[in-house]
């Protein structure tokens, strides 16, 4: 197995050369080692800094990012600059979906929310890879569907769930995408994402905190009782996560290990060299 072109530096000071064995991105991990090898040389490990804009509205998308850690927001906006978050991307997905669909730019935006790392592929290399490898293309297109469902569920939540439920959903979704139980987050930022007033976020956070679900520090939120938090989200959480599990993860279990025909690898996590919590969205009731 060939090493990739650079090292990924983790928060704890360790760094690794990405290989199929220590991948944290679940899409890449689902590829067969052969297929991953074919991509490996072109994948460049890059840090994701909070506030960094990966995709700017109306400007050509130059790369795709397979998120290894951290969280990236997808944001819709209007000419008069109203904005709202329409989806989250963590290590279960990738940023740059329009390129896969043959579109070079989009009116939307991708913004790093929680810092981390990604494996970056130039648009040219990506185009070539999906053109050449049907298994890769098929897998990523399934992810497009999953993301479409996430967007739609966000739309539904924004209009028929109250702020408490939506905030609980959002925090639960973040929790799915990070290691550990705490992440940096200001009320101001949250208010933009959820499309509500900032003081509204403050008081709602107090409600969740009062119920013992979370613990808020300045610029940080820690998930204390994941189960309760998810219950507070109600049915606003779950549909999109179940769909991801069905079409990305369950599909892997169906195929035999390293099935040459599908090009997908059956048990990515079993081979993971770096220990990390396998945080499956929809893994309901997981204890922290």
Instruction: Give the residues lining the site for its own copies (CB under 8 A).
Output: 74, 76-80, 82-84, 86, 97-98, 100-103, 106-108, 138, 141-142, 144-145, 148-149, 151-156, 158-161, 195, 234-236, 238-239, 242-243, 247
Instruction: Quote the CA–CA distance of 108 and 102 in Å, as a whole number.
Output: 16
Report, in Å, the least distance between residue 240 CB and its own copies.
8
* Among 205, 223, 232, 248, contact with DNA (rule: CB under 7 A): 205
Contact between 235 and DNA by CB under 7 A: the answer reads no
Instruction: Quote the CA–CA distance of 137 and 200 in Å, as a whole number.
Output: 42
* Among 33, 200, 234, 282, contact with DNA (rule: CB under 7 A): 200
SS3 8: strand
Answer for the pair 53, 109: CB distance below 8 angstroms, yes or no: yes
Chain centre distance of CA 202 = 25
Give the range of 38-46, 54-62, 160-168, 175-183 binding DNA by CB under 7 A.
Answer: 160-168
Q: Which of 110, 224, 113 is nearest to 174 (CA)?
A: 113
Q: What residue has token string 């690794």?
A: 16
Give the range of 8-16, 97-105, 214-222, 244-252 binding DNA by CB under 7 A.
Answer: 214-222
Q: Residue 188 binds which entry of DNA, its own copies, none, with Cβ cut-offs from 5 to 8 Å by kind?
A: DNA
Tokens of 109: 């935006």
- Cβ burial of 67 (10 Å; 0-12, 13-18, 19+) is buried
Instruction: Quote the CA–CA distance of 22 and 195 in Å, as a whole number.
Output: 37
Report, in Å, the least distance between residue 148 CB and its own copies.
6
Contact between 188 and DNA by CB under 7 A: the answer reads yes
Give the footprint of DNA on this chain (CB under 7 A). 162-164, 186-188, 195-200, 202-206, 216-220
């Amino acid at each position: 197995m060939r090493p990739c072109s650079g090292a990924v530096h983790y928060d704890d000071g360790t760094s690794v050369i990405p290989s199929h064995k220590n991948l944290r991105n679940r899409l890449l991990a689902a590829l067969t080692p052969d297929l991953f090898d074919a991509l490996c040389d072109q994948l460049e490990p890059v840090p994701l800094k909070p506030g960094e804009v990966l995709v700017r509205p109306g400007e050509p998308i130059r790369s795709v990012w397979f998120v290894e850690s951290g969280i990236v927001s997808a944001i819709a906006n209007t000419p008069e600059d109203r904005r709202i978050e329409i989806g989250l991307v963590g290590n279960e997905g990738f940023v740059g979906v329009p390129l896969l669909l043959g579109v070079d730019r989009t009116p939307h935006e991708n913004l790093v929310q929680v810092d981390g790392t990604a494996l970056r592929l130039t648009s040219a290399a990506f185009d070539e890879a999906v053109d050449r490898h049907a298994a890769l293309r098929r897998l990523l297109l399934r992810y497009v569907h999953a993301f479409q469902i996430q967007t739609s569920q966000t739309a539904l939540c924004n209009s028929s769930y109250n702020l408490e439920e939506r905030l609980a959903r959002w925090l639960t979704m973040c929790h799915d995408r990070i290691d550990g139980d705490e992440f940096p987050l200001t009320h101001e930022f949250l208010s933009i994402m959820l499309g509500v007033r900032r003081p509204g976020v403050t008081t709602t956070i107090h409600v969740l905190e009062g119920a013992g679900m979370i613990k808020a520090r300045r610029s940080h939120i820690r998930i204390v009782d994941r189960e309760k938090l998810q219950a507070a989200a109600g049915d606003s959480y779950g549909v999109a996560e179940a769909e991801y599990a069905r079409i990305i993860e369950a599909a892997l279990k169906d195929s035999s290990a390293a099935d040459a025909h599908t090009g997908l690898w059956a048990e990515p996590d079993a081979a993971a060299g770096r220990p990390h919590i396998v945080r499956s969205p929809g893994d309901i009731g997981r204890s922290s």
